[in-house]
Amino acid sequence: MTETLFEKIWNSHVVVERENEPSLIYIDRHLIHEVTSPQAFDGLRVNNRKVRRPDLTVATIDHNVPTTDRSLPMIDETSSTQIKTLEQNCQDFGIKLFGINDPNQGIVHVIGPQLGITLPGSTIVCGDSHTSTQGAFGAFAFGIGTSEVEHTLATQTLWLEKPKTFEIIATGKRKNSFAVTSKDIILSIIKQIGTDGGTGHVLEYHGDAISDLSMEQRMTICNMSIEAGSRAGLIAPDEKTFDYLNNRKFTPKNYDELVDDWKNNLMSDANSKFDKSFTIDVEKIEPQVSWGTNPAMVSDVTSKVPTPEEFGHNNEIQIESAKKALSYMDLKPDTAIVDIPIDRVFIGSCTNARLEDLKDAAEIVKGKTVNSAVSAMVVPGSQMVKLQAEELGLDKIFKDANFEWRESGCSMCLGMNPDILKPGERCASTSNRNFEGRQGSGGRTHLVSPVMAAASAIAGHFVDVREWC
Amino acid sequence: MKPFSKIISIITPFDKANVDTDQIIPKQFLKLITKSGFGKFLFYDWRFNHDGQKKTDFILNDSYYQDSQILVTNENFGCGSSREHAVWALKDFGFDVIISPSFADIFYSNCFKNGVLPIILDIQNIKKLLQFKDKVELDLHSQTIIFGSESITFEIDLHRKIRLLEGLDDIDLTLKEDDKIGIFEKNSSRISIFE
Ligand code: SF4
C-alpha cells in the first residue's frame, strides 16, 4: 500500500490505536515558552508528577521579553512573573532553558531548527500554533493548548484524531526570485484556498517551486499553513534539509546514519493518495499585500483594494466580513495598493526574521533612508540570528537607514511586550496575522515579505519591490 | 484529581442567564501562573466596586453562602471565550457542582477536565432549587439530589461519571497505558536532544 509522508510519520509514532477512537501518539520534541506553560507545571506539582522525558524537552523565553536593553527592569510586572516562573519550573523539573541572556535565546520556532533540535520524521509540539514552522524539515509539528502541554510533560504522548492529507503542488519558476518570495507564495495560496481551506488536514507542499526554495524560505511557507486552517504543514526533506541541520549545536552524533535512513523513507510514495489537492503556478505570482483583517484578504501589489463584492463573490458572510475589515482598516475599495501610506514597519516574527530575511531586506535598504513619516524596526528571530547579522554588518546598514535594531523576541507580532501599534497606526509587517488589534488595540496590519516591508519603509507607502531590483 | 464524593451543602442561588466566561473571570486576570488562585477574581466586576471594596448586595459576598459547594444558575452558563480559567476560578472559589438548564459546550467539557460536575436539569427543578434554603444531599453515584422531602435524578455520561468518581484526569487515564509507552520507547529509542 502506498503512504503519504504524513502517514509514514504518524504510523511510526502510534503507541495505542483503537477503532473509532483517537490514537495515542508519541512526541519526540516538546518546546516550551513562558506564556502557555505555567499552569501545566502547576498541574504537575499539584498531582505530584514528574516530567517523563526532560531529555526531549527544551524551553525558551520569547513572547513577552523586552527587545530593548535587557538589563533594565521589566516594565510589565506580570510578564516578568511569567518569565521568572518558567526559570523556576525549568530548574525544578530539570528542563534545559535558553533564558533571557542566553546566546541561544530566540523565538521558539526559530531556535528549534537553528540548534538542530528539529529532526526530519519526528513529532514536535509546542504550546503555540506556529509550531507548524518546523514542518519544513519533514516533521509533524503542531501547536497545542495548556492542558496538552501538561499531558505531554507527564506522558510524552498525546491523544490525537488522525488528520486528513492535503497536497499543495507548486509548479513553475518565480519571475523575479529576489522580489517574489516564499511569503508571496503562501499568501497567494491562502488567498485562494481560504482561511479554512486546510481545516482538519495536514498540508504537504511539493513540486519544483518548493524544491527551489531554501530551508528558511520553506519555513515561512510551513509557518503560515495554520493561517489556512490546518494544524500542520509538511515538506519532504532533501539535500538542502540535511545540509541545513548538519553540524548544528544539537545535531545527533549518528547524523550520517540518520540521513541515510531519512533519504530512503521520508517522502510520499509515488501515487500515494491525498484527501485533497491544489496546484499553484508560481510564475504568475506578484508581491502580495494584505488589505484586510485575515490572511486571505490579500491583493497583488499592482492591483487595488477590492470592493466587498469582488472579494466575497456571492457569499453574504464574506461580503459582510470584507465590509467590516475595510472599515477597521480605514480603506476605500479601488484604492491602488501602492497609494496606501504607512506609519510603521516591523521586520520580525517567526515567519520572517531569519538571517536570509534580514539579508534580503538589508539589500534593499542599503544606502537609503527610512521615510521621515515612518518609524521602522528590525527584531531578529533569535540572538544567534542577531549575532550573525551583526557579523555581516547588517545592523549598521539598518541603523544607518534609521531602522531600530533590537534584541530578539516575538515583539510586535502580537504586542505582549511594550512593542505595540498605537490606535489607527498602519504597519507594514512581515508577521503572520493581521487580525483586529493583533499588533496593538486599533492598530492596522498589512502582511508583506521582508523586501516589500523594507522598500515600503523607504518610500513611505507600498511599492512594487520588483522595480527596485 | 480528588475522587468526587457525596456532597452535603447549601445551594448558592444565582438566577442569571448567559453568564459568559469574561464575567466569570475578566481578561485582566489571565496572566496568572497557577491554576489555583483564580478564586479571588471570580465574578470580579460583580463582586467588587471600582475602589476594590466588596459590593454588599452581591450574593457571593453574603457570608451565609460562604461554604456552599453548589452553584445553581440559569441557561447557557459559561458561554463566550473558551478560556479554561473560568472553571479554575469557580473550583478555586469552592464550587464543585454547577447546576443549570444548559451549558456552553467547551465550558461543559472543561468542567470534567478539572473535577467540577456540571448538572443539567429542567427549568421546573431549577426553580425549586433556587428557592431551597437548607442543605441538600448530592450523590453522583446514584445520580440523585435530595432536598427536603423531595428527590430528583440527573443524567450524566457513564465514562465521565466514572472518571469523576475515581478522580481520574486525562493524564491518569493515559498513565494506564504506561507500559505501552515504555515498550514503544524501548523498541524505537527516541533521539535525546542532549546526547
Ligand atoms: S513571532 Fe508571533 S506568531 Fe511567532 S511565536 Fe511569536 S507571537 Fe507567535
pLDDT at B3: 92
Q: Are A133 and A141 in contact (CB under 8 A)?
A: yes
Total Cβ atoms within 10 A of residue A370: 22
- Assembly ipTM: 0.91
Total Cβ atoms within 10 A of residue B67: 9
Q: How far is CA B194 from the centre of its chain?
A: 41
Q: Are A185 and A223 in contact (CB under 8 A)?
A: no
User: Is B113 within the bounds of a domain?
Assistant: yes
Bridge partner residues of B187 (DSSP): none
Which chain B residue shows the shortest CA-CA distance from A29?
Answer: B193
User: Is B177 within the bounds of a domain?
Assistant: no
**Bridge-based pairing state of the strands B136-139 and B7-9:** antiparallel
Bridge partner residues of A126 (DSSP): A31, A143
User: Is B185 within the bounds of a domain?
Assistant: no
Question: Cα(A414) to centroid of ligand 1, in Å?
Answer: 7
User: Is B181 within the bounds of a domain?
Assistant: no
Q: Are B12 and B141 in contact (CB under 8 A)?
A: no
Tens digit of pLDDT at every position of chain B (195 positions) = 889 999 999 999 999 888 888 789 876 677 778 888 899 999 998 999 888 899 999 999 999 999 999 999 998 898 866 677 899 999 999 999 999 999 987 788 789 888 999 999 999 999 999 999 999 999 999 999 999 999 999 999 887 898 899 998 889 889 999 999 999 999 988 999 998
Cross-chain Cβ contact A53/B169 below 8 Å: no
For chain A, residues with pLDDT lower than 50 are none
Name the grid cell of B9. 451543602
Pocket lining: A432 vs ligand 1, CB cutoff 6 Å: yes
Pocket lining: A130 vs ligand 1, CB cutoff 6 Å: yes
Domain containing B131 equals: 6-169
On the 0-12 / 13-18 / 19+ scale of CB atoms within 10 A, A124 is buried
Pocket lining: A107 vs ligand 1, CB cutoff 6 Å: yes
Angle between helix B105-113 and B85-93 (nearest 10): 50
Q: Are A378 and A398 in contact (CB under 8 A)?
A: yes
User: Is B158 within the bounds of a domain?
Assistant: yes
Q: How many domains does chain B have?
A: 1
pLDDT at B28: 65
Instruction: Choose the residue to mutate in A79, A126, A128 for probing ligand 1, maximizing ligand atoms within 8 Å of C-beta.
Output: A128
What global pTM score does this model have? 0.86
Determine phi and psi for A12, rounding to 5 degrees.
-85, 5
**CB contacts < 8 Å between A and B, how many?**
88
Cross-chain Cβ contact A157/B192 below 8 Å: no
Distance between CA atoms of B30 and B39, rounded to whole angstroms? 12
Total Cβ atoms within 10 A of residue A422: 11
Distance between CA atoms of A426 and A445, rounded to whole angstroms? 6
pLDDT at A128: 87
Distance between CA atoms of A326 and A305, rounded to whole angstroms? 9
Query: Amino acid letter at A268?
Result: S
User: Is B188 within the bounds of a domain?
Assistant: no
- CB neighbour burial string for B45-62, b if at least 16 within 10 angstroms, e if fewer: ebebeeeeeeeeeebbee
Which chain A residue shows the shortest CA-CA distance from B178?
Answer: A155
Q: How far is CA A448 from the centre of its chain?
A: 13
In the numeric block, the cell 501610506 is attached to A341
User: Is B182 within the bounds of a domain?
Assistant: no
pLDDT at A65: 84
DSSP conformation letters of A319-350: HHHHHHHHHHHT--TT-BGGG-B-SEEEE-TT
Angle between helix A215-223 and A355-365 (nearest 10): 100
pLDDT at B80: 67
User: Is B157 within the bounds of a domain?
Assistant: yes
Q: Are A268 and A296 in contact (CB under 8 A)?
A: no
* B interface residues, A as partner, C-beta within 8 Å: 1, 31-36, 84, 88, 113, 169-171, 174-175, 177-178, 180-181, 184-185, 188, 190-195
Distance between CA atoms of B190 and A420, rounded to whole angstroms? 41
Pocket lining: A414 vs ligand 1, CB cutoff 6 Å: yes
CATH number, domain at B17?
Answer: 3.20.19.10
Q: Which residues are CB-contacts of A32 (< 8 A; sequence separation ≥ 6)?
A: A57, A58, A59, A60, A86, A95, A108, A126, A127, A149
Distance between CA atoms of A409 and A348, rounded to whole angstroms? 8
